[in-house]
Amino acid sequence: MRLLESIVATAQRGTASAADTAARATEFATALPLIVLTCIDPRLNPLVPRVLGLPEESFIWLRNAGNLITGPLSSTLRSLALAGAVKGGREIAIIGHTDCQVCKTTMLQLTERFRALGVDRAQLPENLVEFFGLSASERNNVLRATEHVRSSPLIGPRVPVHGLLLDLATARLEWVVNGYQTLETQTSTRPATPASSLPGPLPDAWAKLGKFEMGEMKNSTDQIGEVRTTHSAPSAPALPRLPDPAPKAAPTPPGLRDLPTSARYSVKADDGKIYGPFSADMMLGWLADGRITLDTPTQPLGRHDWKPLATFLTKPPSRPGGPPPIIRH
């Protein structure tokens, strides 16, 4: 049994005892400290340490609203990367939670609350859904965050990246992404990338991250949804800055789970740029949000031809109606 497997198993039975905590710190010493990203919800303050069952010095706790990560070179990735490179973190766990107020807040509610604080809509970012992470469910937030971390050039290829969902009512943890299994699959199917092919000189990339302070990790002041666009690495694109989904997006058509989950996919947007590769789960989340359609040009990893997304479904569903596609050919 490995570190996160032990934590999840204990959480299924109830939070760890003091004896469990001491034993785990000894048994999994080579996998510690654990890097953890959670939401800022104060209900997590006493719960997360008990569920992890680790001494305080054995985990590095990072927090932002909605445990949101917007891209492989975002400011949150900066802290995650330095928690590993500078503080010695060995594994990364993105832990979402049920009853997340960030996911429940609508654009109208958010603008009204800002207006009550004296902040007009004109002062807010144009795309509130993307900037504040309002559109995704708690599970999708975890899926997208783990995808960004795993694809980031700042995270070592042998670092397990886990995604979990914490039930606030029962204190139980549920696997969303098992980082051990994902790492084993990628290692067995993808050759190692030679150092000479990495995007740009690594020393320059690390130099742009700036000075690292431990204090900023536990109490991040970064804007939610902030993406750093000054990094010079050409082959590590941020996610497309898509407009807000239509207020009444078409429902996810039946049969979408026939999209092979073992493959990773890239998509071609209106601007002609290519984004990805992304997991099947992320593709399904975008499709459900109305940000891509069955006609979106798609390319599975390892292939060189572009075909509509519907082509890769085992049983292509009928094309739904609804608003015009946000990404289209």
Claim to verify: residue 129 and residue 262 sit in the same structural domain = no
Residue 106 located in a structural domain: yes
Write down the pLDDT at residue 275.
81
- Say which CATH number the domain at 270 has: 3.30.1490
- Say which CATH number the domain at 106 has: 3.40.1050.10
Q: Residue holding tokens 């190692």? A: 192
218, 250, 266 - which closes a domain: 218
Residue 228 located in a structural domain: no
Write down the pLDDT at residue 322.
47
Instruction: Say yes or no to pLDDT of 253 above 60.
Output: no
Claim to verify: residue 98 and residue 214 sit in the same structural domain = yes
Residue 232 located in a structural domain: no
Claim to verify: residue 209 and residue 312 sit in the same structural domain = no
Residues 6+ apart with CB under 8 A from 216: 79
Contact 87, 60 (CB under 8 A): yes
The answer to which of 165-174, 224-233, 299-308 has the lowest mean pLDDT is 224-233
Q: Residue holding tokens 């590993």? A: 84
263-303 pLDDT, tens digit each: 788 888 877 778 878 888 788 877 877 788 888 899 888 78
> Residue 59: which pLDDT band, with cuts at 50, 70 and 90?
very high
Work out the end-to-end distance of the chain between its first and last CA atoms, rounded to an integer number of angstroms. 47
Instruction: Say yes or no to pLDDT of 186 above 60.
Output: yes
Residues 6+ apart with CB under 8 A from 6: 24, 27, 28
Better pLDDT: 225 or 100: 100
Claim to verify: residue 43 and residue 184 sit in the same structural domain = yes
Q: How far apart are CA 94 and CA 167, in angstroms?
A: 14
Claim to verify: residue 197 and residue 289 sit in the same structural domain = no
Domain enclosing residue 267, as ranges: 240-329
Residue type, 86: V
188, 218, 248 - which closes a domain: 218
Residue 321 located in a structural domain: yes
> Residue 188: which pLDDT band, with cuts at 50, 70 and 90?
low
Neighbour tally for 272: CB within 10 Å: 6
**Closest C-alpha to 312, from 254, 261, 240:** 261
Total domain count, the chain: 2
Better pLDDT: 300 or 231: 300
Contact 26, 44 (CB under 8 A): no
Better pLDDT: 264 or 243: 264
Residues 6+ apart with CB under 8 A from 176: 96, 139, 142, 143, 146, 163, 164, 165
Most confidently predicted of 134-143, 168-177, 281-290, 314-323 = 168-177
Residue 224 located in a structural domain: no
Q: How far apart are CA 75 and CA 56, in angstroms?
A: 24
| Across 186-207, average pLDDT | 50
Claim to verify: residue 52 and residue 128 sit in the same structural domain = yes
